[in-house]
Structure 1
């Protein structure tokens, strides 16, 4: 697949757009006409050609623009990338995983040459051509997690596994949906998920931790998560709430189609070989509602899901203020027909 990188912004004038092909490959998260928290984890096997699941790390038309936005976030707040001292080996593990996977899956964009510990990495879209010694941080322009994180879409959490639990002990997080790495770093799996309603009572996280701590090397898994975002803003962190919180006041029946975006996270889980850490990449995709409703199947299902959300999830997803008008707007795009299974267009 030939990728044409788009020139766009995720702040200020918000010029972000999906191409027609980008709309159809969007990972719509609802398999049925309803939604409730579940573990919903499946093997991260190669998917259909052109889909977001085709390769281990998806590279799409927004790659260059997203990396430019990440650089802006890190310049404003360097604490968006942190690693506790014992996570150095895991950081190198992750750098190797990303480089080898991307060089294999996108040889026209990335090249990795190795001679023992002497590595040569080329990233053509970003104009990077670096030689370094694997495992020696001083031979890179910045620490390994930051170096590869500045070249990989989505956020990246490195989870140390101990005491039958997972601990968020390193990460680069600049595209998150209202949570803070600086607050969560050093927390365990149950602590950083504490704000999520209903799932604890249902035992979702108890089942999830049993599964995640048993993921073997070479058998990654994935799941989809979702929320809504006003304007195509990648950085909706608590630290920057004064910038994006007021956006909710701009939602009206006349602006929903342009301003409201379905925000989907493709979350993957990989066991790292040297450190035994679990890496948790969180890739964010955005789709404005005007584009979403061009796919009749998605228009029907989105209406039914939002209409029937439990009140606790309406509040947790941050849509209490505009939920009624959102349901009404979506209802106008629901033709009442049955909806076929699956997440991609028919």
Structure 2
């Protein structure tokens, strides 16, 4: 992936765009013409994704890195409670420092360097201009809590699930780019409580099976899945707390502006078992692509047209699509010649 970082914004003037390379590597989530909620878990990390894809490394860094970190800083300045860490999660905080620094320095050595001398660590983040020495395990040697410090330097949201009583609890998180849910509200919730609002899924027992699977997740064997929704304008922060800023945009879509204003929002969700705390790190990395960018690969436009036409009304309402779904379907309809697309997500 081209890591020539772009200066762009995810609010106000919305200067966010995808390069041709970023469009090609976009994780298009639909391998079939119909969408049903499923666990769809597969192995993640080294050796599980093609070179240059968003799956190549455990933590993806792309051309939007600096802009996304800046957007996170803005959100935290306005609302520090987007970062949450319950007191018993300190071991997990240091687990996350190790996971993120090791991953970034190994996979992107031109941008990140890490030197270890026992517990004396030296971290360099060139894109953000950070040069930090600290003692691993000593919170006082960092300018803020360990997890907040390092999670300000990665893309996507991170929720850390503490495992106890045969359940998982959302006891720590850095969440500044969520799709209409609140970490402040969900903090401390169990796995099923957190996912309770998802329609259809509970009726078919998806979360029972997912929880059973995750309780046995092994260290060194991370997994991933894709989730999706749509959003108006390339805004990362579509949190309930800020609904007055982005909610009215859902009624602003017209046949004339739909290609520019409507974005497919895909979440690469990965889960990592942590070694000291035995907690599970749940990353939610969001990727945005406008409809006009997406249809540069007509196959994607055809498939999205079919998915949206057949989408269950409960899922359409849950994902907040009802105000503009038909406008998107009409926009994509001319691309769909009815030919069999087969299975798969390859863009061509």
Q: Normalising TM by the smaller chain, what interval?
A: over 0.9
Instruction: Answer whether contact 2:160 2:281 (CA < 8 A) is retained.
Output: yes
Partner in structure 2 of residue 245 of structure 1: 247
Instruction: Answer whether contact 2:230 2:265 (CA < 8 A) is retained.
Output: yes
Question: For 1:79 and 1:120, how far apart are their aligned partners in 2?
Answer: 28
- Give CA deviations for 1:139-185 in whole Å, capped at 9, x if unaligned: 00110111111000000001000111100000000000000000000
State which of 175, 178, 181 in structure 1 corresponds to 2:180: 178
1:101, distance to aligned residue in structure 2 (A): 0.9
Aligned length: 346
Partner SS state of residue 201, structure 1: coil
1:333, distance to aligned residue in structure 2 (A): 2.1
Question: For 2:344 and 2:108, how far apart are their aligned partners in 1?
Answer: 27
State which of 201, 204, 218 in structure 1 corresponds to 2:203: 201
- Give CA deviations for 1:25-60 in whole Å, capped at 9, x if unaligned: 000011111100111000004311110001110000
Question: For 1:133 and 1:339, how far apart are their aligned partners in 2?
Answer: 54
Instruction: Answer whether contact 2:34 2:310 (CA < 8 A) is retained.
Output: yes
Q: Which runs of 5+ in 1 are unaligned?
A: none
Partner in structure 2 of residue 97 of structure 1: 99
Partner SS state of residue 280, structure 1: strand
Partner in structure 2 of residue 32 of structure 1: 32
- 1:23 equivalent in alignment to 2:20: no
Partner in structure 2 of residue 331 of structure 1: 333
- Give CA deviations for 1:221-279 in whole Å, capped at 9, x if unaligned: 00000000000000000000000001111101111100000000000000000000000
Partner SS state of residue 210, structure 2: helix
Partner in structure 2 of residue 152 of structure 1: 154
- 1:278 equivalent in alignment to 2:280: yes
Instruction: Answer whether contact 2:169 2:190 (CA < 8 A) is retained.
Output: yes
- Give CA deviations for 1:95-137 in whole Å, capped at 9, x if unaligned: 1001001111111111000011100000011010000000111
Q: Which runs of 5+ in 2 are unaligned?
A: none
Partner in structure 2 of residue 294 of structure 1: 296
1:287, distance to aligned residue in structure 2 (A): 0.3
1:2, distance to aligned residue in structure 2 (A): 4.2
Instruction: Answer whether contact 1:24 1:344 (CA < 8 A) is retained.
Output: no
Question: For 1:106 and 1:327, how far apart are their aligned partners in 2?
Answer: 40
Question: For 2:161 and 2:147, how far apart are their aligned partners in 1?
Answer: 13
Question: For 1:246 and 1:202, how far apart are their aligned partners in 2?
Answer: 34
Runs of 4+ with deviation above 3 angstroms: none
1:336, distance to aligned residue in structure 2 (A): 2.2
- Give CA deviations for 1:317-341 in whole Å, capped at 9, x if unaligned: 1011222222111112223222142
Question: For 2:114 and 2:165, how far apart are their aligned partners in 1?
Answer: 36
TM-score by length of 2: 0.98
Q: Aligned Cα RMSD in Å?
A: 0.9
- 1:234 equivalent in alignment to 2:269: no
Please say which of residues 37-46 and 262-271 is displaced more in the overlay. Answer: 37-46
State which of 309, 312, 335 in structure 2 corresponds to 1:310: 312
